[in-house]
Structure 1
Amino acid sequence: MPATSPPKRACDQCHAVKEKCRRISDSAPCERCSRLGQECQTIRSPAKTGRKPRAAEKISYSLPVAQSSNCSGTSLQLSKAILANSPTPYNAGLSSNQTIFADLDEWEKHFLNFMKDVLAPSPLDKFLVGPSFHEAHHTSFVQNLIQPIPELRNASVACAAVLFSDRFAEHTNKTMDIGHKRAALAVSSLRCFQISNEKDLTTMLILSVAMITFAMHVTDGQPYLIAQYTLSIIKSQYQSLINFQSPMMDLFMCLVSTETFECLLRSKTPAWRLDTSQRGNVIDRYLGLSYPLFPLFFDICEAADQLRNCKINQRDGIFVRLMETKAAVDQWYPSPEADFLVRLSRDEVVTIMTQARILRLAGLLIIHRLRYPFGQHDDEAQRLSRDMISEFNTVLRITERSVPCTSLAYLAACFEAFGDDRRKTALAQIPSVITFSKQAQIKTARLLKSMWDLRDCQTQFYWFELGEYF
Structure 2
Amino acid sequence: MTARRACDRCYRYKEKCVFQDDGKTCTPCKRVGRTCTTLRSLPRQGRRPTSKRLGPGSSVQVWEVTSTTTATSESTSTPSYVGASVAGGCSPTIYDNEVYSNDAHFQTLVPGPYTYRFQDNLNELFHSSPKIIEGFYSTYDLFMLGPTFVPRYRAAIRQSYICSPVLLQDIYAAMFNACKRARVGSGAFDVSELAPGAMSLRKLRTTRVGGLQDALAMLALGQTLAAFDYLTVCVGPSLILRYTLSSIRPWYEELGGDATFDPLTVGPIFWDTVSCLLRREIPILQFWPREGHIVHHMVGLCTTLLPIFYDLCVVIKRLKNRSSYSWSEGNARIRQIEQRLLSWTPKAPHDFISTFSRQEILAMKAQAQMYRSAGLLIAHRTLHPLGTGDDLATSYANTIIFEFTQYQTSMEPGAGLHNVAFPIFMASLEILEIPKEVWKSIPSLALAPLCFAKMQALRAYVWAERRASTTRFMLDLVDEGPYFVVMP
Give TM-score, length-normalised by structure 1. 0.76
1:197 partner letter? G
Number of the residue aligned with 2:347: 335
| Map of 1:370 onto structure 2 | 382
Q: How far is the alpha carbon of 1:178 from its aligned partner? A: 3.2
Partner of residue 332 from structure 2, selected from 300, 311, 320 = 320
- Residue 251 of structure 1 corresponds to 264
Deviation at 1:459, TM superposition (A): 1.0
| 1:68 to 2:125 alignment | no
Residue 202 in structure 1 maps to residue 216 in structure 2: yes
Q: Distance in 2 between matches of 1:235 and 1:93?
A: 28
Q: Return the letter of the residue paired with 2:457.
A: R
CA distance in structure 2 between the partners assigned to 1:55 and 1:274 by the alignment: 38
Alpha carbons of structure 1 residues 123 and 147: separation in structure 2 relative to 1, 3 Å: same
User: 1:318-343 deviations in whole A, cap 9, x for unaligned?
Assistant: 11111111111111111112232222
Q: Which residue of 2 aligns with 1:154?
A: 170
User: How far did residue 433 of structure 1 move?
Assistant: 2.7
Aligned equivalent of 1:447, options 443, 458, 462: 458
Quick one: distance in 1 between partners of 2:253 and 2:339? 30
Aligned partners of 2:368 and 2:304: how far apart in 1? 10
Shift of 1:92: 9.1
Matched AA of 1:82: P
2:428 maps to what in 1?
A: 414
Q: Aligned partner of 1:155: which letter?
A: I
Deviations 1:185-235 (A, max 9, x none): 212212222222221122112112211211211224311111111221222
**Residues 232 and 123 of structure 1: is their aligned pair in 2 closer, same or farther, counting only changes over 3 Å?**
same
Indicate conservation of the 8 Å contact 2:118/2:135, yes or no.
Answer: no
Corresponding pairs, count: 425
Q: 1:74 to 1:171 in 2, by over 3 A?
A: farther
Is 1:59 aligned with 2:64? yes
| 1:298 corresponding residue in structure 2 | 310
**Per-residue deviation, 1:46:** 9.5
Deviations 1:322-375 (A, max 9, x none): 111111111111111223222221111111111111111110011010010112
Over 3 Å counting, the alpha-carbon distance change for 1:428 and 1:282 in structure 2 is closer
TM superposition shift of 1:435: 2.9
Q: Does residue 122 of structure 1 match 2:138?
A: yes
Within the candidate set 395, 400, 406, 1:383 is matched to 395
Does the aligned pair in 2 maintain the 1:125–1:134 contact within 8 Å? Answer: no
Contiguous gaps of at least 5 residues in structure 1: 1-9, 14-21, 30-36, 101-114
2:197 pairs with 1:183: yes
- Structure 1 pair 172/138, CA: closer, same or farther in 2 (3 Å)? farther
Shift of 1:179: 3.4
Contact kept? 2:367, 2:420, Cα under 8 Å = yes
- Partner Cα distance (1:74, 1:80) in 2: 12
The 8 Å contact of residues 276 and 283 in structure 2, kept in 1 or not, is answered as yes
Structure 1 counterpart of 2:93: none
Mapped to 1, the partners of 2:207 and 2:50 lie a distance apart of 30
Give the distance between the partners of 2:390 and 2:405, measured in 1 at CA: 22
Secondary structure of 2:472's aligned partner: coil
Structure 2: distance between partners of 1:228 and 1:297 = 17
The residue type paired with residue 433 of structure 1 is I
Q: Deviations over 1:132-167 (max 9, x none)?
A: 112333454466667761111111011112112102
Specify the code of the residue in structure 1 equivalent to 2:208.
Answer: Q
SS in 1 for 2:387: coil
- Deviation string, structure 1 residues 295-329 (Cα, Å, up to 9, x no partner): 11111111211222217993121111111111111
- What is the distance in 2 between the residues matched to 1:441 and 1:164? 18
The change in CA–CA distance for 1:371 and 1:12 in structure 2 (over 3 A counts) is: farther
Structure 2 equivalent of residue 457 of structure 1: 468
Higher helix residue share = 1
Alpha-carbon spacing, 1:25–1:11, altered in 2? closer, same or farther (3 Å): closer
- Aligned AA (1:131): P
* 8 Å Cα contact 1:267/1:301 also seen in 2: yes
Supply the distance in 2 between the matched residues of 1:54 and 1:125 (Cα, whole angstroms): 28
Shift of 1:182: 0.9
Structure 1 residue aligned with 2:441: 432
Are the structure 2 counterparts of residues 178 and 135 from structure 1 closer, same or farther at C-alpha, using a change threshold of 3 Å?
A: farther
Are the equivalent residues in 2 in contact too, given 1:59–1:180 (CA < 8 A)?
A: no
The code of the aligned residue for 1:343 comes to T
Q: Which amino acid aligns with 1:160?
A: F
Query: In the superposition, relative to structure 1, how do residues 360 and 447 fare at CA in structure 2: closer, same or farther (>3 Å)?
Result: same
Q: Distance in 2 between matches of 1:402 and 1:354?
A: 12
TM-score by length of structure 2 reads 0.74
The answer for the alignment partner of 1:394 in structure 2 is: 406
Residue of structure 2 equivalent to 1:16: none
Identity across the alignment (%): 20
Q: 1:82 to 1:408 in 2, by over 3 A?
A: closer
How does 1:91-240 map onto structure 2 within 5 Å?
A: 94=123, 116=132, 118=134, 122-141=138-157, 149-170=165-186, 172-173=188-189, 176-240=190-254
Change (3 A) 1:383 1:220: closer
Q: 8 Å contact 2:341–2:376 — kept in the other structure? A: yes
1:93-120 alpha-carbon deviations (Å, 9 max, x no partner): 957x9xx9xxxxxxxxxxxxxx956559
In structure 2, what residue type is equivalent to 1:273? Q
Contact kept? 1:116, 1:138, Cα under 8 Å: no
1:305 touches 1:464 (CA, 8 Å); kept in 2? Answer: no
How has the CA–CA distance of structure 1 residues 38 and 255 changed in structure 2, closer, same or farther, with 3 Å as cutoff? farther
Contact residue 329 and residue 364 of structure 1 kept, 8 A: yes
1:434–1:440 CA contact under 8 A, matched in 2: no
